[in-house]
């Protein structure tokens, strides 16, 4: 990878990190209004928590990618130590694994956690990350 490409990736990572750490505030005060409004408000809070968790996770991934850039291990799969494809890095600059290892991991996760596989390893983040 050329210095120009690395510089470009660093800028994209830093931009993604800035977005990920920008706080979002829930829209409405909980506890106000009728039952429907309260239910809606609770749902909004749940979504806000979910969004914050996703951002927190992305921020960690991006910080990790920036560290890999510094240590020249960027673009190397952390599982098989093979190269992570350029296309994959363009789509997901903070990817830490090649598509083969990521797919294998997601399949394993789906098998062990049943439904909800859309979010991959979401439950770990959701239940383990905020305690
Ligand atoms: Zn791999």
First to last CA, the chain: 39
Query: What is the domain partition of the chain in residue ranges?
Result: 3-128
How far does residue 78's CA lie from ligand 1's centre (Å)? 7
How far does residue 83's CA lie from ligand 1's centre (Å)? 7
Write the pLDDT tens digit of every residue in 91-108: 999 999 999 999 999 999
Which two structure tokens, joined as six digits, stand for 27?
């829209």
Whether 33 shows a pLDDT value over 50: the answer reads yes
How far does residue 128's CA lie from ligand 1's centre (Å)? 25
State if pTM tops 0.85.
no
How far does residue 76's CA lie from ligand 1's centre (Å)? 8
How far does residue 80's CA lie from ligand 1's centre (Å)? 4
- Is 113 within 8 Å of 106 (Cβ atoms)? no
CA distances from 85 to 57, 91, 111 (A): 22, 10, 26
According to CATH, what is the number of the domain 3-128? Answer: 1.20.120.910
* Helix ranges restricted to H, the chain: 3-20, 35-70, 86-91, 99-113, 122-123
């Amino acid at each position: 990878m050329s210095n120009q490409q690395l510089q470009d990736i660093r800028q994209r990572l830093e931009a993604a990190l800035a977005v990920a750490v920008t706080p979002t505030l829930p829209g409405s005060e909980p506890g106000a209004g009728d039952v429907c409004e309260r239910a809606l408000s609770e749902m909004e809070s749940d979504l806000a928590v979910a969004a914050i968790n996703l951002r927190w996770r992305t921020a960690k991934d991006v910080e990790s990618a920036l560290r890999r850039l510094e240590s020249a291990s960027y673009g190397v799969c952390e599982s098989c130590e093979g190269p992570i494809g350029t296309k994959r890095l363009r789509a997901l600059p903070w990817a830490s694994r090649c598509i083969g290892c990521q797919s294998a991991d997601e399949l394993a996760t789906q098998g062990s956690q049943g439904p909800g596989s859309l979010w991959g390893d979401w439950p770990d983040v959701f239940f383990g990350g905020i305690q």
